[in-house]
Amino acid sequence: MSFDGLFDSGSSGGLPPYSAGGVQQTRLLSNPAFSSPGLSLGLGEMSRLGVFTGDAETMVKNREDENESRSGGSDNLEGGSGDDIDQENPRKKKRYHRHTPQQIQELEALFKECPHPDEKQRMELSKRLNLDPRQVKFWFQNRRTQMKTQIERHENSILRSENDKLRAENLTIREAMRSPVCGSCGSPAMLGEVSLEEQHLRIENARLKDELDRVCALASRFLGRPMSSLSSPFSPAPLDLGVGFTALTAMGGGDNYPSGSSMLQPARAVLAGSERSMLLELALAAMDELIKLAQMDAPFWIPNIDGRGEVLNLDEYSRSLHRCVGPKPAEFVSEATRETGIVLINSMILIDSFMDVTRWAKMFPCIVAKAGTIDIISSGMGGTRNGALQLMHAELQVLTPLVPVREVSFLRFCKQHAEGVWAVVDVSVDGIRESLAASGAHMSCRRLPSGFLVQAMPSGYSKVTWVEHAEYDETAVHQLFRPPLRSGLGLGARRWLSALQRQAECLAIMAASSPPPGDNPAAITVAGRRSMLRLAGRMTENFCAGVCAWAERKWRELRSVEVGEDMVRVMTRQSVDDPGEPPGVVLSAATSVWLPLVSAQRLFEFLRDEHLRREWDILSNGGPMQEVAHIAKGQDHGNAVSLLRATVPATSSSMDANGNQKHEDESMLILQETSTDAAGSLVVYAPVDAPAINLVMNGGDSSYVALLPSGFAILPDGSGGSGSVGGSLLTVAFQILVTTLSTAELTVQSVDTVKSLISCTVLKIKSALTC
């Protein structure tokens, strides 16, 4: 009996030649002793002598491992890959080319960054390593094959272990069903006494215990101390693993949403156990990177062009830190800034505000257009925010129609690092789980580890170090706004920290029992001051929504028209059943212009001054303007809420007591809010009804005052360096009620009127500032 045919690679019934990474191997057993009639005896004798231990399958597996190692390592075929083996003579042997250790190191380094290099990269690498381009090409093909095989084996191993675990659980459940025990007394129970529902509950209980053990292992890492599933921190303050809408409402995220932002409700536990573990690992890596960036100095950080703040040295960052979100897409650009400042707020109040999505959106109304919680992975430990982890979605805006809204899905992780020292980090999950990516098929932005490190100060203040790092697609951004965005003026650390400082001052004034310096105590009460500030806040939120047109407001863009050299975006929407707005069809028009050699501070002072308002406000008809009420919002005199009275000629007459006709002046009241900080300024105003505003000034409800705001957003153009005067980017926006009938059609005449209004206003401002 002969076994030659069994080991012949040409036979259909024998073992085929094994090929790893496209390298054809010789037959497994070439020694004639293995094809002799004494095969069984020979194998037994060799096994007894220790020459051959194991079966033929083990030999095949060892041979496979050796070939895989060769395919991705130092061996490569001189002629080509497995795809290019001569089909006419498949038994023809190929010559091997063994790469040097230096060549392998270079190839492995490029493979980690780019497993699929293009032809240009392969040509450059082949010249640098003195290899043929085909050798480089086939090395990468073999390396990818090896990587794929390793991943498949790892996945198969995991599946086998899961299968074994399920089999063991199945056997355990079967044994428990054979000898059921009464849950109340512990005595043996009849099979009919154990309901099907109870059996399912027992199975679910066992699964939840396994899940709890896995989470405890991960919790031990980011809490910095060992955790047990039976330890006290889980009771009475458990680590919530799937918090629904009830728990979210208890945290302050219920029905009282801010008017300028929207919650995704209800929060849904959409993550499986493996996904939660993966997100926990990402959160830990992001927190480590944030702490390093917040504490490191040069050469990681270099001064900004205007001498304020710092920008990240991206080359040093790439060399020294491992990216936790993968390589940057080729079409993306980076912006990374750092800012440090003192904030008038308690550090724990700041932490609580950031971990409550509603309060967070309310704190940054000009930056956060929309925010919501997708899932609360952990609500913290021991009744604190230490270890809190949330999956969130947000839309971030720059107040101009020339910059699209950034949609990001990200993790927010909070951790206490020392007594009085906390950190909150955000990191995008778009590259981790595609189903949690921002809405839309194309990812246009992602946040690398960003956030702040806060240290409690003895005075009740907080020292905040803010780091903001993002990558985004710049192709949709207008040329005017690219320099300020790259320098961080649009959505960088300076804007976030400046807005936080300004908002903290406003909240302190609202909580004070006495008016701040500069207010007229006799003109308005403490309750009236708070109502006026709430009304002004709602007005500014509605203004921002009209400029950026986020989806919640349901704006419908009509068209973008040219007015001179500038583009004006015109939109419309229907206002129905909103007590804070007049009913009907609302038309919005917005444009952005560049004012060179006009500083942002000079432009802001010109637009907020009521005495200079007649130079640009067409609605005032050149009449005088008087400030009848003033409420300070902070230490800077530019942060205030004012009530202005514009006197215009009367359009009607009345009779006096003697029957004689008399002419009267008709007064128009304008509510104006001005805000300024290191990152930009706002001037927002709206006509208001006199009886309604009088009610608010006496402490009445401000939510029923109808407003249609207009105004200006000012941003430095990023050209001003040390000792030089930079220009400004001015955004002008109007909201006008076209008709009180919500079903009426918009006419071309209405659009032309708004276009004329916005263009005339821009021309008047340029003329007044001699631009």
CA distance linking residue 581 with residue 706, whole number of Å: 4
Question: What pLDDT does residue 511 have?
Answer: 81
- pLDDT at residue 495 in the model: 94
| Cα–Cα dist 115/107, whole Å | 10
Lowest mean pLDDT among 228-232, 537-541, 750-754, 764-768: 228-232
Res 67: pLDDT:
47
Give residue-wise pLDDT tens across range 262-290.
Answer: 433 434 445 666 677 788 889 999 999 99
CA 373 to chain centre: 12
Amino acid 226: pLDDT: 60
Asked if residues 436 and 412 have their Cβ atoms less than 8 Å apart, the reply is: no
pLDDT at residue 721 greater than cutoff 70: no
Summarize the confidence of residues 456-462 as an average pLDDT.
89
Per-residue pLDDT, 563: 54
Chain segment 291-314, per-residue pLDDT in tens? 999 988 778 898 877 667 788 888
- What pLDDT is attached to residue 652? 41
With cut-offs at 50, 70 and 90, classify the pLDDT of residue 655: very low
pLDDT attached to residue 663:
42
Q: Given pLDDT bands bounded at 50, 70 and 90, which one contains residue 185?
A: low
Indicate the SS3 state at residue 625: strand
Going by pLDDT thresholds of 50, 70 and 90, the confidence category of residue 251 is: very low
Better-scored residue on pLDDT, 327 or 347: 347
What pLDDT band is residue 56 in, cutting at 50, 70 and 90? very low
What is d(CA 122, CA 532) in angstroms, rounded to the nearest whole number? 66
**N-term to C-term CA, the chain:** 103
Please give the mean pLDDT across all residues of the chain: 75
Give the Cα separation of 643 and 672 in Å (integer). Answer: 6
In terms of C-beta density within 10 A (0-12 exposed, 13-18 middle, 19 or more buried), how is residue 433 classed? middle
Contacts of 231 (CB under 8 A, 6+ apart): none
Band of residue 752 on the pLDDT scale cut at 50, 70, 90? confident
Three-state DSSP at 533 gives helix
Specify the higher pLDDT residue, 136 or 323: 136
pLDDT on residue 79 = 44
What does the pLDDT look like over 567-612, one tens digit per residue? 788 888 888 777 788 888 888 889 999 998 899 999 999 999 998 9
Contact call for residues 431 and 620 (beta carbons, < 8 A): no
164 CA to centre of own chain: 40
| Whether pLDDT at 227 is above 70 | no
Least confident of 444-448, 498-502, 622-626, 725-729: 622-626
CB 757 within 8 A of CB 524: no
- For the cut 90, the answer to whether the pLDDT of residue 451 exceeds it is yes
Residue 497 has pLDDT above 90, yes or no: yes
pLDDT at 188: 66
Is pTM beyond 0.75? Reply is no
pLDDT number for residue 738: 84
Alpha carbon 307 to its chain centroid, in Å, reads: 28
What's phi and psi for 629, nearest 5 deg? -150, 145
HSE value, Cβ hemisphere, 13 Å, CA-based, for 678: 18
Least confident of 43-52, 489-498, 530-539, 574-583: 43-52
Q: How confident is the model at residue 72 (pLDDT cuts 50, 70, 90)?
A: very low
Asked if the model's pLDDT at residue 710 lies above 70, the reply is yes
* pLDDT band at residue 196 under the 50/70/90 scheme: low
User: Percent of the chain scored above 70 by pLDDT?
Assistant: 68
Task: For the chain, state the CA radius of gyration.
Answer: 35
Mean pLDDT of 317-332: 84
Is residue 653 packed enough to be buried (19+ CB in 10 Å), middle (13-18) or exposed (0-12)?
Answer: exposed
Q: Is residue 132 scored above 60 in pLDDT?
A: yes
**Residue 526 tokens, joined:** 């403490």
More confident residue, 572 or 653: 572
**DSSP alpha helix (H) spans, 101-132:** 101-113, 119-129
* Nearest CA-CA partner of 672 in 644, 694, 700: 644
pLDDT tens digits, 141-170: 999 999 899 999 989 999 998 898 888 888
Amino acid identity, position 295: Q
When pLDDT is cut at 50, 70 and 90, the band that residue 649 belongs to is low
